[in-house]
């Protein structure tokens, strides 16, 4: 069974849960766009056929846990929140259900974006912005976020068969570009320990 760790950074080194030790991991197809395009094409078709929203990565409890944490920080319902690699958009849906109103989701898979838009619209949330973006090369309009969430996306990027050290560096640079100074970054990961994440994202700098 995969264990997940959740870390948040906001200057101080606080975290939601203790992380587990991670083992070294090899490059994988989960680190490729082709994999996600195929996966979300299938999930989109399944959603259209039978209304199944597809995989909830790390389970619903992981989403609830992050939302409880955000609410405990008294983050305003108008805060600009970005879901990085939103997939089927279920995190955005839960945030919208909790009253958060300034939500953006991005994913580099067009099929994922279409799936997320379909699900959010079906649930009556037409004002959630969901767009195709490669987070490693974000558009200049993607900026000013008070809260950035990542559930499984940095993990996927870390599995890239290409130059993953470079990819990780790009991710950190993009994060700095899109976040407001003093914003929150909340990451759920099953590949990295809390200590590793704090080292990679170096909060407070
Ligand atoms: C493990 S899935 C998690 C999806 C979603 N966060 C969730 O919890 O259901 C990883 C997601 O990251 C997206 N992704 C991977 N690399 C990306 C990149 N460079 N830019 C944007 N999205 C990316 C994939 O398309 C996929 O939707």
Closest CA to ligand 1's atom 27: 87
The answer to whether residue 19 sits within a structural domain is no
pLDDT digits 0-9 by tens, 179-192: 999 999 999 999 99
What pLDDT, on a 0 to 100 scale, did the predictor assign at position 17?
Answer: 35
Enumerate residue ranges in the chain where pLDDT < 70. Answer: 1-25, 203-205
The answer to whether residue 18 sits within a structural domain is no
Q: How far is the CA of 29 from the centre of ligand 1 (A)?
A: 13
Nearest to 188 by CA among 148, 129, 160, 142: 148
What pLDDT, on a 0 to 100 scale, did the predictor assign at position 15?
Answer: 37
Nearby residues of 179 by Cβ (< 8 Å), 6 or more positions away: 145, 146, 148, 185
**Distance (Å, rounded) from C-alpha 154 to C-alpha 30?**
11
* Domain interval for residue 48: 5-12+25-201
What pLDDT, on a 0 to 100 scale, did the predictor assign at position 160?
Answer: 87
The answer to whether residue 161 sits within a structural domain is yes
pLDDT digits 0-9 by tens, 35-47: 999 999 999 999 9
What pLDDT, on a 0 to 100 scale, did the predictor assign at position 10?
Answer: 44
Q: How far is the CA of 85 from the centre of ligand 1 (A)?
A: 3
The answer to whether residue 17 sits within a structural domain is no
Ligand 1 neighbours (beta carbon < 6 A): 36, 57, 85-88, 91, 106-109, 112, 134-136, 151-153, 156-157
Domain count for the chain: 1
> Which of 39, 83, 85, 149 for a ligand 1 pocket mutation test, highest count of atoms within 8 Å of Cβ?
85
> Which is the closest atom of ligand 1 to the Cα of 157?
16
Residue 177 near residue 170 (C-beta atoms within 8 A):
no
The answer to whether residue 87 sits within a structural domain is yes
Q: What is the CATH number of the domain that holds 76?
A: 3.40.50.150
Residue 49 near residue 113 (C-beta atoms within 8 A):
no
Distance between the two ends of the chain, CA-based, in angstroms? 35
> Which of 60, 87, 112 for a ligand 1 pocket mutation test, highest count of atoms within 8 Å of Cβ?
87
The answer to whether residue 131 sits within a structural domain is yes
The answer to whether residue 31 sits within a structural domain is yes
Q: Which two tokens stand for residue 33?
A: 């766009």
Q: How far is the CA of 105 from the centre of ligand 1 (A)?
A: 10
What pLDDT, on a 0 to 100 scale, did the predictor assign at position 22?
Answer: 45
Question: What pTM did the predictor assign?
Answer: 0.90
The answer to whether residue 142 sits within a structural domain is yes
């Amino acid at each position: 069974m995969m264990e997940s760790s959740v870390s948040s950074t906001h200057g101080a080194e606080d975290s939601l849960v203790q992380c587990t030790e991670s083992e070294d991991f090899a490059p994988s197809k989960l680190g490729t766009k082709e994999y996600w395009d195929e996966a979300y094409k299938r999930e989109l078709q399944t959603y259209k056929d039978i209304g199944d929203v597809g995989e909830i990565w790390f389970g619903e409890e992981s989403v609830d846990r992050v939302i409880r944490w955000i609410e405990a920080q008294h983050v305003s319902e108008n805060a600009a929140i970005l879901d990085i690699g939103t997939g089927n958009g279920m995190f955005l849906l839960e945030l919208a259900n909790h009253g958060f109103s300034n939500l953006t989701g991005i994913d580099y898979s067009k099929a994922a974006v279409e799936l997320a838009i379909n699900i959010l619209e079906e649930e009556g949330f037409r004002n959630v912005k969901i767009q195709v973006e490669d987070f490693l090369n974000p558009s200049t309009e993607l900026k000013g976020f008070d809260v950035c969430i990542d559930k499984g996306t940095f993990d996927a990027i870390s599995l890239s068969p290409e130059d993953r050290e470079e990819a990780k560096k790009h991710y950190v640079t993009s994060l700095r570009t899109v976040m407001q100074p003093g914003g929150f970054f909340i990451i759920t990961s099953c590949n990295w320990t809390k200590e590793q994440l704090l080292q990679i994202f170096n909060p407070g700098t």
